[in-house]
Amino acid sequence: MKTAVTGSTALAVSHGMSQLGEPAIALEPGQEAFDLIEVMEQSGPLSLVHIGPDAPKVMLSYAEQCRDLGLEFSADPGTLDGADAAEFIEGAKFLVTSQDRYQFLQGVTGLSDDEILARVRVRVTTVDAEGVEIVGHDMERIRVPVARARELIDPAGASDAFVAGLLTALGWGMPLRRAAELGSQLAAVVLESVGTHGYTVNHAEFVRLLEESYGVACAAEASAYLLPE
């Protein structure tokens, strides 16, 4: 089963996933949402739909389609406003944002942390230099530190790379902590490159970087997918 990514970040996220050997179905922004039934008829079943920033009616349409079809989706509300934002995240498996965007979401909706978690299953929030915070139902709060980066060249595309790594690892069946570690490491790779698409991933080197940042166990789990025998 495949992952579909939508919105203005679709190409960047899909590029990151393809660098890890798991290309996604990129549904680029437009005036109307793609029909997800037609997408699945052409590409096969979807395990997850990541709905990124787009025109409000398009984002709401994708979320409604996912709910109607019983498809799991992750939501990045971007700058979606007010009632639209509250409706958009309803039923999402994952809410994936930066801390700034999460605070913006709270501001425009008036929803508390608990009220947002009543609408989504898991919140994944990048917190700049503090790493990633993961909060969900019936689980301990998870904190994942930032990955080691040798040199910071260009911040463009790092957030999209994080999403790409996160979605890839979730598609492999990795637990949330490992998925966030993989996403953080891919973001570090992008920070050392120029532009949102100006990077490639050497899988053996990436596994080595994972070991440096997150330890032997993380690297070993990722190598099963990145370095198959």
Distance (Å, whole) CA 84 – CA 90: 10
Distance (Å, whole) CA 12 – CA 229: 29
Q: Are 48 and 3 in contact (CB under 8 A)?
A: yes
Q: Are 59 and 51 in contact (CB under 8 A)?
A: yes
Q: Which structure tokens are listed for 196?
A: 């949102």
Angle between helices 10-19 and 158-172 (to 10 degrees): 60
Q: Is 100 a catalytic residue?
A: no
What b-and-e string marks burial along 37-74, b requiring 16 or more CB atoms within 10 Å of the CB?
eebbeeeeebebbbbbbbbbebbbbbbebbeeeebbbb
The residues annotated as belonging to the active site are: 160
